[in-house]
Structure 1
Amino acid sequence: MKKILILAFAILWAGAATAQHTHGSTKGPNGGVVQDVAGVHAELVMAGNTVTINILDENNRPAAAKGFSGSVLIVSGSARESVPLAASGDNALKGEARSAIPAGATVTLVLKNATGKSGQVKF
C-alpha cells in the first residue's frame, strides 16, 4: 500500500511540476485560444490551412516575436502533420499545413523564445 501511495504522489508531483499556466477557453484579441508558454501568452488562430501563433504579453497585448521559433503538431484522428512556424510581421509566427485543418483537431505548440526558453502547450 505504501508503494502505491508513493507512486501516486510521484505521478501527481511530476504532472504539477511540468504543467504550465493555462487560460483554458480565454479568447485572445484575435479570437483565438490563449495559453501561457515559454514566458509569453500564445494565441492560436487557424483559418483554412494556415496556423498563426500571436505572441502576447501578460495583458494580452501584442509582444515582439523577434527571435522566436517554433512548430505545431496537428493531430486529427490518425492523421498527423508537423508544421514549422516562421516569423510573420512583428508579433506572430505562421505556418501552412498541406490541407485545411479539420475542426476539432488537436494542436500542440512547441515554442522557443528569443532568450532560449522553450515550452510546449496543447490547444
Structure 2
Amino acid sequence: MTTRRLMAAGLAALVLAPESLRAHEPRRGPNGGQKVDIGSNHAELVAQGNTLRLFLFDAADRPMAVSGATAQAVVLAGGRQATVPLTPVGENLLQGTGDFTAARGMRAVVTLTLPGQRPAQARFTPLDQD
C-alpha cells in the first residue's frame, strides 16, 4: 500500500471510530448509576457513601436474577484500595459495603460469577459520568 492509501485508510478509521466506540461507552442506567457490559450481560453500579449496589440486566436490558451469583469489587477511592464483597439482596441486585467513601475519581473493578458461567469483569467510574 502506498503512503497516500495508508493515510486515507487511517483517516477513514478515525472518522468511523467514534460511532463504533459510542456503542461501548459507559451509559447511565435506570437506577442512576453507570451501566457497562459485563460478559454477555449488562451491569449498573451505584456508589453512595461506603455502599456499592450492582444491578444486573440481560443482553436485552431486562432485570436478571442474581440468586447464586457471587461478586466482588476492588475499589480505588481517596488513594486507598478496598475489596468489597457483593451479595444478592434483591431480584437483580447485589450489594456490599466497604472501607471507602464514594467520590468523583473513584474506580471499581467488579468480578461477577453467575451460576454455571465463567467469571466476568467490568470497570466502572461510577461518579465521573456526564
- Normalized against structure 1, the TM-score is what? 0.75
| Amino acid aligned to 2:27 | T
Match of 2:70 in 1: 69
Question: Structure 1 stretches of 5 or more lacking a match?
Answer: 1-21
Q: 2:47 and 2:78 mapped to 1: Cα distance?
A: 18
Contact 2:77 2:100 in 1 (8 A): no
Deviations 1:47-93 (A, max 9, x none): 11110100112232211111211100111353100001111111111
Per the alignment, do residues 41 and 92 of structure 1 end up closer, same or farther by CA in structure 2, a change over 3 Å counting? same
Match of 1:83 in 2: 84
More strand by share: 1
Q: Percent identity?
A: 31
Q: 1:118 and 1:102 mapped to 2: Cα distance?
A: 27
Report the aligned-residue RMSD: 1.6
Return structure 1 stretches of 4+ with deviation > 4 angstroms: none
Match of 1:111 in 2: 112
Match of 1:3 in 2: none
Contact 1:70 1:111 in 2 (8 A): yes
Q: 2:97 and 2:85 mapped to 1: Cα distance?
A: 8
Question: 1:94: Cα distance to partner?
Answer: 0.4
Question: 1:39: Cα distance to partner?
Answer: 2.6
Contact 2:82 2:100 in 1 (8 A): no
| Amino acid aligned to 2:90 | G
Q: 1:77 and 1:49 mapped to 2: Cα distance?
A: 12
| Amino acid aligned to 1:97 | G
Question: Structure 2 stretches of 5 or more lacking a match?
Answer: 1-22, 125-130
Q: 1:74 and 1:121 mapped to 2: Cα distance?
A: 12
Q: 1:106 and 1:96 mapped to 2: Cα distance?
A: 15
Larger radius of gyration: 2
Match of 1:97 in 2: 98
Q: 2:79 and 2:48 mapped to 1: Cα distance?
A: 21
Q: 1:33 and 1:109 mapped to 2: Cα distance?
A: 12
Contact 1:24 1:33 in 2 (8 A): no
